[in-house]
Structures are given as structure tokens and as C-alpha cells.
Amino acid sequence: METWLNPITLEGELIKLIPMEASHKSGLLTAAADGKLWELWYTSVPSPKTIDTYLNTVLDEQKAGLALPFVVLDKKTDMIIGSTRYLNCDAKNRRVEIGATWYSQRVQRTGINTECKYLLLTHAFEQLHTIAVEFRTHFHNHPSRNAILRLGAKQEGIIRNHRIDENGNFRDTVLFSILDSEWNTVKHSLKFKMNR
């Protein structure tokens, strides 16, 4: 099970998910600058000041087998437009979280997130044989909460005072999941949305 999460490229019609590397630094910064996403107080998007720490943390988690980070590549432009990852990986219990997802402002609400999550969920359920995939988001991140619900995930609950951010604020985290027994229905729904 120690090689459960191996770097892999996942490809759809609109995007490619490529394993993140330190060499993606400038592409990630360019993507995050579209909308100055690092200014959103309820999410963690790298800024010019935090990009090195962001990359070091993410790549260290990957080496430890706890995460598998991706850059999101727009197939039309061949440019990085965001990032996503598997995180909080639990190989023994075959559970994984999909999160730390963000996209350049210009590609938000374009169908890219649906395809991205479809690729990640398909790989998680059909290749990794997970029994559950989790999604977690800040209580105040309503766009993210609504996007997770649209995927077909169900809200499990709210973890109160789950984290303390860099400003000392307490974060309540909303927890969602999709179970392996629900995957066929969710997959059918996502395919329907993507084909429209």
C-alpha cells in the first residue's frame, strides 16, 4: 500500500492534470494573479510572497505519501489555470480528500471544475478503489460549498474551530463526502452535466 498514490497525469476534453513540480512556480503565480485569488481570506492560494512555502509544503506532503498535487493545464492554451490535489490520504482505510482546488478567475464557472473533479473521482474510485472521497471547505466559502454539492457530494457536518489561520481566526470546516456505493450515480450525473 505504500505506493498507493503514484504521480499520474489525468486527461479530459478541456484539461490535463499534471503532477505538480517546483518548475511550475511561475505558471501557478500567473494563474493565481488572474483575480488576485490570494486576497480571498477564506482560501489558501499562493501569492508571490507565499509561493515557495506553498510548493515546499505540498511537495513534502507528496514525499510523505499524504498528498498528490496537480497543476490544472488548459488544453486550448497549454497554460496552467489552477491547482488541485488529493490530500489527507489514508491508504490503509482507502480514503482520500480532494481539495486545495483553485482556478484562475477567467475559467471559473466554465465546466472545468466539473471535468477536473470527474477525472479525480474516477481515478479515486476506479483505480485507487477508495471507499470514500472527502471534500472540506471553509464555512464562509459559499461558492466552494455550492460547487461541492453540485458534484453530488453529501454534507456530513461542520467541524467547529477546526483550524486557526495565519491571522489567528478560527475556521469552521464543512465536511462532504461521496461513498463508493454512490459513485455510479454521481458519475452518471457528472457525465450528463459535462455533455450539456
Cell 489525468, residue located: 10
Whether this prediction's pTM lies above 0.85 is answered by: yes
Q: How far is the CA of 190 from the CAs of 122, 131, 137, 186, 196, in angstroms?
A: 11, 19, 20, 6, 10
Give 153's DSSP letter. Answer: -
What pLDDT is recorded for position 41? 54
**Nearest Cα residue to 121 out of 58, 189, 61, 195:** 189
Compute the residue count for the chain.
196
What pLDDT is recorded for position 1? 39
pLDDT tens for the chain, 196 residues: list them. Answer: 346 889 999 999 999 999 999 999 999 999 988 766 665 555 677 888 989 999 999 999 999 989 999 999 999 999 999 999 999 999 999 999 999 998 988 877 788 989 999 999 999 999 999 999 999 999 998 988 998 999 999 999 999 999 898 789 898 999 999 999 999 999 999 999 998 8
Specify whether the backbone of 78 is left (phi greater than 0), alpha (psi in -120 to 50) or beta.
Answer: left
Q: How far is the CA of 181 from the CAs of 125, 131, 153, 185, in angstroms?
A: 10, 8, 12, 9
Report the distance separating Cα 147 and Cα 145, nearest Å.
Answer: 5
**Nearest Cα residue to 101 out of 70, 62, 123, 60:** 70
Grid coordinates in use for 184?
A: 455510479
